[in-house]
Amino acid sequence: MIKRIGILTGGGDCPGLNAVLRAVAKTAMFKYGWEVFGFRDGYRGFVLNQYMKFGPDDASGILDKGGTILGTSNRDNPFNFKVEENGEAVYKDMSDVAIENARALGIDCMIIIGGDGTLSSARDFWRKGLKVVGVPKTIDNDLSGTDFTFGFMTAVDTATDAIDKLHSTAESHHRVMILEVMGRYAGWIALKAGIAGGADVILVPEIPYDINKVAEKIMERKQAGKHFSIVVVAEGAKSVKGEVVVSKVIKDSPDPVRLGGIGNKIADEIEKITGIETRVTVLGHLQRGGRPIPYDRILSTRFGVAAVELVNRSEFGKMISLKGDVITAVPLEEAVEKIKTVPPDGELVRIAKSIGVGFGD
């Protein structure tokens, strides 16, 4: 019999997180009469026992608010947690400490909101006997087991708006404009925003590009009287030689490699080959911030309510999932088994090529 649940948001922030928290808290408190405890700053708060108890006011006025009122962290893995011993930083498995914190608070189940890293730890907690339900969150839309993650469509909307704005300045100055977007090793944001924004070239990690073919596409447009081009590139895009561009490595992070800089690399190469002035815009964290669009507010609310209903039915060890337009659930084991990438021969790539978009292949 459930009386008290815990919740945390882990990994990078994402539009719609607060909408999920709101839906979970309101459904748990008002429909079932449960108490809700939120751990601060992701798994860090879970290990250090830093939390807040939700009251009715805490779940109000946050539907359209970006970020997460609980805070989050993408550096704290409870199974390899940074602690200080004898003045030195060491890494230890602190998962048992987190489980004991939950038990001491009388928490019957944890609802864990995050991407592949956060939900991989949720799976490991489930294996250790903690009752867990996962909610898929990432702007990258790279979680297998669900058609869409909340936050993704807001990121696409932000990127599309940027492309729309770049069109006018590109056309005015007869330049090539490159927009570098996030996505890690999946090209979903680049592909969807590129199609929606009318990009001429879209470069994604799943289709290695030949820079000479990218340049050919731009020159074809110039010869046809189009003296500007828009190139959208995912941060994880790679050339036919196989290399990706890394901006930095953060040693104490569960995911130490930070991608970035591919836009500038491609710009330099395009200028050398074509002689056309090329400029770069790196959209960066603008994609992760700000108010969620209505689609994500609704999806987040559906996910949050569904997570509480899953707890009420004692269906633990699962992640909420969207299949078509139906909310369902899949085992956490399946949800984090692999990342979901863009099919190179999928419908979206085919329709983009049909309307003349180049992929550098």
Catalytic residue numbers, as ranges: 140
Distance CA 317, CA 131 (A): 7
Three-class SS state of 171: helix
Q: Are 196 and 202 in contact (CB under 8 A)?
A: no
The continuous run of DSSP H or E covering 9 comes out as strand 4-9
Distance CA 171, CA 224 (A): 14
Q: Are 201 and 211 in contact (CB under 8 A)?
A: no
Q: What is the DSSP letter of 137?
A: B
- HSE-up (13 A, CA, CB side) for residue 7: 31
237: tokens are: 């895009």
